[in-house]
Structure 1
Amino acid sequence: MKEKIHALTEEMLENMGRLVAIDSQLGTPEEGKPFGEGPAKALEEGLKIAEELGFKTVNLDNYCGYAEMGEGEEIIGIAGHLDIVPVGGDWNYDPFKLTRDGDYVYGRGTTDDKGPVIEALYAMKLLRDSGIKMNKRVRLIMGCNEENGSKCMEHYNEVAEELSCGFTPDASYPCIHGEKGHMAMMAYSKNTKIISMNGGFVSNAVCDTCTTVIPSEAGLKEKLEKTFAETKLQEYKLTEENGEISIYAKGVPAHASTPTLGVNAAGVTCECLEKAGFEDDFVKFYNTHIGTACDGAGVGLKIADQYGDLTFCNGIVKTEDGVISCTIDIRVPVTLKAEDVRKMCEDKLEDENGRIEILEIGDPLFYPRESPLVNALYKAYVDVTGDTENEPMVIGGGTYAKSLKNIIAFGPEKVGMDYRIHGADEFILVSEMEETVLIYMEAIKNLLAI
């Protein structure tokens, strides 16, 4: 079978290139195109490729669509997405032109998630062509809004049949049997002497730059210089003029699911202000309730289960009409329910210096390690790769598995490898692409047997 897959490599790359060539970032919604022009065009092209390979296809109102084979009541679902994040960064290759350099193939979406859609499609084609008996239908769903809220799958659930089992090829091997719950909060100042404090770009990443303006006090700049010199900031700058001290702090970016890998510029600024003797209600509130520890201790949420700790991330800080607000992104351990978490923190969210509001709490996703779905996918991975060291795992991020019933995330990324999925020069390895087609073939066979 490896030879058959290898013989199709050029064709797979050509079809992947057709998808990568389309800028499918979230656009302006228009009639019949809920996510704008780009995602609708990518879906049209994805379904066209599936038709060329002999699959029956259905477009669900340009929210998503699917390619299907087989017969039966039950459906094995494979849910990938064709939308992408903005290009950003300094690319060495054209992000919208598939470029091969040896084993590396560059382009936006090659790993997240246009490449895996092609891998799954060819796994289906090869299985079908091998004449395998199918007691279930196999349905590859192509979504158009994974990067911005997965509204595509909300629509799928409204208009299409429920899946019996399956996976989303949008994470890591060996497989993901749990995804932490997501909780969003907003902190607000009540009284503050701070003139302005602004930093961060998105709520789901550590606030990595922050600019703060405070009133001057005798000797304060010198004290601040001393405290800032002892921090882990990449860069800082203090200037004093017209009775004001301006502080620029540059920390280290990190995703909200792994905030300890970053350095929060707003948090470090508040710590330094307090150490330097700048007395302020909001600084006190920030340091006691939010802080830089990323563990939720300040609001009574320093909790963990055997699959991981709760993580707590301040992403954006901004000042409007004299009020400072901070976004807080929390990833909740998989064995805890939303209501448990609410009870733990609700009486610790406010004092005379500030308040925190809970905006939403989403339940985690969790399948026991020994469940048939986890076993079927893990076995496919081990049988093809021989890797028994890496075990099924729990992650802080979220995938389509939280939107669709009875599926978990499965591949195609290898643990410890950075495919630059939201950065410049995103890539896929041709050797891994071929291996993944084989793994997904085995996975479908195992799911047919459940």
Structure 2
Amino acid sequence: MDIKEEIHALSEEMLTNLGRLVAIDSQLGTPSEGKPFGEGPAKALEEGLKIAEELGFKTVNLDNYCGYAEMGEGDEIVGIAGHLDIVPVGGDWTYDPFRLTREDDHVYGRGTTDDKGPILEALYAMKLLRDHGVKLNKRVRLIMGCNEETGSKCMDHYNQVAEELSCGFTPDASFPCIHGEKGQLAMIACSKNTRIISMNGGFVSNAMCDTCTTIVPDEDGLKEKLESALSRTKLQEYKVTEENGELTIYAKGIPAHASTPHLGVNAAGVTFECLAKAGFEDDFVEFYNSHIGTACDGSGIGLKFADEYGDLTLCNGIVKTENGVISCTIDIRVPVTLNETDIRKMCQDRLEDKNGRIEITKVVAPLFFPRESPLVNALYKAYTDVTGDTEHKPMVIGGGTYAKSLKNIIAFGPEKEGIDYRIHGADEFILVSGMEEAVLIYMEAIKNMLAI
């Protein structure tokens, strides 16, 4: 039996174990004693470590922030860092998000690709290397984190209590290899004055606002004008209803991750745009359209910029109304050649006027490894040796991973370019064929890193 056949023979076992993890709702919960991220993430970590123990690995739980499975001996550590927490379910699912559902090569469930499936791919890569007697001159450690989607405090804790990695990767992005990650800028836009009664949409800040419900005062002819404007958009669905002198506008856009907002349709942005086209005069409608809009390029606040590694992108994730104030989260992915001083200087004169204001709430620096670095070469070679694909090259992405939290690692797989795995949307899936191939790629990657 060759190695591909051996991996294929383990496929059903991998899926059974993936089902155990997917069944756990591991989104951020209410912290309690000994469970810093709530019940769900702690339960997922317990199950992940249990699976690793069943496969014969030594495991350590680091205070329910994260844990790891390890093999080998030595002072140096080859690290693989994945996460067991998930984003909220959201959206209109065809399948039960917490039950693994297989249809041919597709297996559906929240976390299948982001990032419970890749953790198991790496774990089985370690198992096969061990079972084949590959000589380990370093320890190989698979870290399972519990807070990647909402701050990566799990890795802050790891850095405080555990050993630094010599080199490694996080299986939480794309193949062939990620040698840079854009910086991140979080903002919040707020209304000063608005006639909008309420506006609520989106469920996470790092994904496009794909549904939105807005209530405005009815005006003569406004319903018809809104319907006309909405009919000319790229919304999947819209509806305008009138009751008691108020219009309720429901808009359904297209979901997309904040790193690729151009792939989605912002339901809130389209609603603001259509309100203006319908003649609804409002201070915050004017502010939103002039400062945020639907362009996704940051041009409204002076941040339109591109370098050789990619463009700056802007995503409005959540819109909500509290005490008469509308607020909108803004997630900006910043090209690797821009620093914080540059960013603040570029937008400082565009953050406030009489109609609204925008506040910068968080700045995360970019990550960049030279294309010629030993780690990039080791991982890229593993990918090309297994797949034969030399057309796709190491790249810079807009997403943020554990590579920004742990030293000496970069993101590596498991997604393939050109496939939308719906990682933060409804009906997230993993391909069984891709899962099997990823195990082999990760086996080669570990061997290459042992040689660095």
Deviations 1:82-126 (A, max 9, x none): 233445566666555545555444444333322222221222222
Within the alignment, does 1:187 sit opposite 2:189 as a pair? Answer: yes
Secondary structure of the structure 1 residue equivalent to 2:275: helix
Alignment RMSD: 2.7
Q: Per the alignment, do residues 227 and 154 of structure 1 end up closer, same or farther by CA in structure 2, a change over 3 Å counting?
A: same
Preserved contact between residue 17 and residue 98 of structure 1 (Cα < 8 Å) = yes
Post-superposition offset of 1:426:
4.0
**Counterparts of residues 209-220 of structure 1 (less than 5 Å):** 209-220=211-222
Equivalent position amino acid for 1:117 in 2? I
Q: Distance in 2 between matches of 1:268 and 1:11?
A: 45
Partner of 1:165: 167
> Which of 90, 109, 112 is 2:111 aligned to?
109
Post-superposition offset of 1:165:
0.8
Deviations 1:365-416 (A, max 9, x none): 2222222111110100000110111112222222211221111111122222
**Counterparts of residues 8-407 of structure 1 (less than 5 Å):** 8-87=10-89, 95-98=97-100, 102-239=104-241, 244-407=246-409
Q: Per the alignment, do residues 232 and 15 of structure 1 end up closer, same or farther by CA in structure 2, a change over 3 Å counting?
A: closer
Q: Per the alignment, do residues 250 and 107 of structure 1 end up closer, same or farther by CA in structure 2, a change over 3 Å counting?
A: closer
Q: Per the alignment, do residues 295 and 427 of structure 1 end up closer, same or farther by CA in structure 2, a change over 3 Å counting?
A: closer
Post-superposition offset of 1:225:
4.5
Q: Distance in 1 between matches of 2:13 and 2:253?
A: 44
Secondary structure of the structure 2 residue equivalent to 1:271: helix
Once the two structures are overlaid, the 10-residue window that deviates more, 108-117 or 308-317, is 108-117
Equivalent position amino acid for 1:52 in 2? E
Q: Per the alignment, do residues 33 and 446 of structure 1 end up closer, same or farther by CA in structure 2, a change over 3 Å counting?
A: same
Equivalent position amino acid for 1:300 in 2? G
Equivalent position amino acid for 2:415 in 1? E
Q: Distance in 2 between matches of 1:96 and 1:240?
A: 37
Q: Distance in 2 between matches of 1:193 and 1:91?
A: 34
Post-superposition offset of 1:138:
1.1
Q: Distance in 2 between matches of 1:163 and 1:155?
A: 14
Q: Distance in 2 between matches of 1:107 and 1:198?
A: 26
Post-superposition offset of 1:68:
1.6
Q: Per the alignment, do residues 325 and 43 of structure 1 end up closer, same or farther by CA in structure 2, a change over 3 Å counting?
A: closer
Q: Distance in 1 between matches of 2:248 and 2:97?
A: 38
Partner of 1:430: 432
Q: Distance in 1 between matches of 2:198 and 2:294?
A: 20
Deviations 1:133-152 (A, max 9, x none): 33322111111222332221
Preserved contact between residue 335 and residue 366 of structure 1 (Cα < 8 Å) = no
Unaligned runs of 5+ in 1: none
Unaligned runs of 5+ in 2: none
Q: Per the alignment, do residues 301 and 69 of structure 1 end up closer, same or farther by CA in structure 2, a change over 3 Å counting?
A: same
Equivalent position amino acid for 1:165 in 2? C
> How many correspondences in the alignment?
450
Provide TM-score, normalisation by structure 1.
Answer: 0.90
Q: Per the alignment, do residues 62 and 383 of structure 1 end up closer, same or farther by CA in structure 2, a change over 3 Å counting?
A: same
Preserved contact between residue 148 and residue 154 of structure 2 (Cα < 8 Å) = yes
Q: Per the alignment, do residues 448 and 343 of structure 1 end up closer, same or farther by CA in structure 2, a change over 3 Å counting?
A: same
Q: Distance in 2 between matches of 1:189 and 1:393?
A: 38
Q: Per the alignment, do residues 315 and 421 of structure 1 end up closer, same or farther by CA in structure 2, a change over 3 Å counting?
A: closer
Q: Per the alignment, do residues 434 and 280 of structure 1 end up closer, same or farther by CA in structure 2, a change over 3 Å counting?
A: closer
Q: Per the alignment, do residues 331 and 42 of structure 1 end up closer, same or farther by CA in structure 2, a change over 3 Å counting?
A: same
Preserved contact between residue 20 and residue 107 of structure 1 (Cα < 8 Å) = yes
Q: Distance in 1 between matches of 2:24 and 2:178?
A: 29
Once the two structures are overlaid, the 10-residue window that deviates more, 405-414 or 81-90, is 81-90
Equivalent position amino acid for 1:320 in 2? E
Larger radius of gyration: 1
